[in-house]
Amino acid sequence: MKLREFVRPSTLKEARAVLRELGPKGMPLAGGTALHFMRGRTPVTAVDITRLGLSYIRREGDFFEIGAATPLADIQRRRGPRWAMHEICRRISTHQIRNVSTIGGNICRVFPWADLPVVLLAMNARMLVYTGGKKRAEVPADDFFASQPAGRFAGGDILAAVRIPVLKAHHGFGSVKASRTAAAFSLVTVAALLELEGGRIASARVAAGSAIPFPKRLRSVEAALAGREPSAETFRAAAALAAGDARWIGQEGMSADYVRELAEVSLTDALARAAEFARGRND
């Protein structure tokens, strides 16, 4: 992707107006770490959104709200009760990249190796999209990642923030990213959110990515977990059903069968982590 000039609006309203006027000749830009992966020979105008007050993390009732221009390093460094987003962010690329790469840039255009869409699907996140004036449309993760999100912003709308539900009592989150090296792209990323009640799994949200064409929920796995005891046997049996939802893809010299086994082991580990997390939370 080639840039021909920068525009630095001072408000979200101004940024949206500029993007609407530029159409396909303009694009919002924050960290810019994915530009070299984006195809296109026609130069575009970059609309800088880093000065619009979109870099923050704050508690808003039952949600944590993360501004779209918040660097991954800020999310990684945050610690606190009912919060788990740091777990995956610390495993994305290198610290130098995390200092500039933003949560919005990671999810507005989903690349095959993307980790954050998997986590946001499992966490039942909501994306707040600025649509003009004072309007921010709330889009559930299931809808946002139903297809490539980039098309949603073709008309000039801008992702303003991501809302992550606060983890409640007896809820636990776990994620696993399998890669050849710490800074390498993911071979498979999985995430799970479990709710335990009376020693059994009351509800589950499970998602996968990287090893499949596009991130998605694993509903067969979720259904197999409901009402079951949170044991290693339960997790292994449920993980084995993931192939019914996901078409695993061989990559980096590894066969599809190898990736499938890697995904199932990763799922089992993520579910075990989520269950352990949930058992330790009573408030």
One DSSP character per residue, the chain reads: --EEEEE--SSHHHHHHHHHHHGGGEEEESS-TTGGG---SS-EEEEE-TTSS---EEEETTEEEEETT-BHHHHHH---TT--THHHHTTSS-HHHHHH-BHHHHHHS--TT-SHHHHHHHHT-EEEEEEETTEEEEEEHHHHTSS-GGGGGTTS-EEEEEEEEPP-TTEEEEEEEE-SSTTSPPSEEEEEEEEEETTEEEEEEEEEESSSSS-EE-HHHHHHHTTS---HHHHHHHHTTGGGT-----BTTB-HHHHHHHHHHHHHHHHHHHHHHHHT---
Q: What's the mean pLDDT in 184-190?
A: 89
pLDDT at position 1: 66
Residue 37 pLDDT more than 70?
Answer: no
Check whether 4 has a pLDDT greater than 70: yes
Which residue ranges does the chain devote to CATH 3.30.390.50? 171-279
Residue 41 has pLDDT above 80, yes or no: no
Q: The domain 57-165 is classified under which CATH number: 2.60.40.420, 3.40.640.10, 3.30.465.10, 3.40.50.2300?
A: 3.30.465.10
Mean pLDDT computed over 147-166:
94
Residue % of the chain over a pLDDT of 70? 97
pLDDT in tens, 211-269: 899 999 999 999 999 999 999 999 999 999 999 999 899 887 889 999 999 999 999 99
Mean pLDDT, residues 120-125 taken together: 97
Q: For residue 80, give the amino acid letter.
A: G
10, two tokens: 């001072």
Q: What is the pLDDT of residue 132?
A: 92
Within the chain, all domains assigned CATH 3.30.465.10 are found at 57-165
* CATH class (in words) of the domain with range 171-279: alpha beta
Looking at the predicted structure, is the pLDDT value of residue 177 above 70? Answer: yes
pLDDT of residue 14: 96
Q: What is the pLDDT of residue 88?
A: 86
* pLDDT score for 82: 85
pLDDT for res 228: 97
Lowest mean pLDDT among 10-19, 80-89, 166-175: 80-89
**pLDDT for the residue numbered 31:** 85
pLDDT in tens, 65-122: 999 999 999 999 999 888 888 888 888 888 788 888 999 999 999 988 899 999 999 9
The answer, yes or no, to whether residue 36 has pLDDT greater than 80, is no
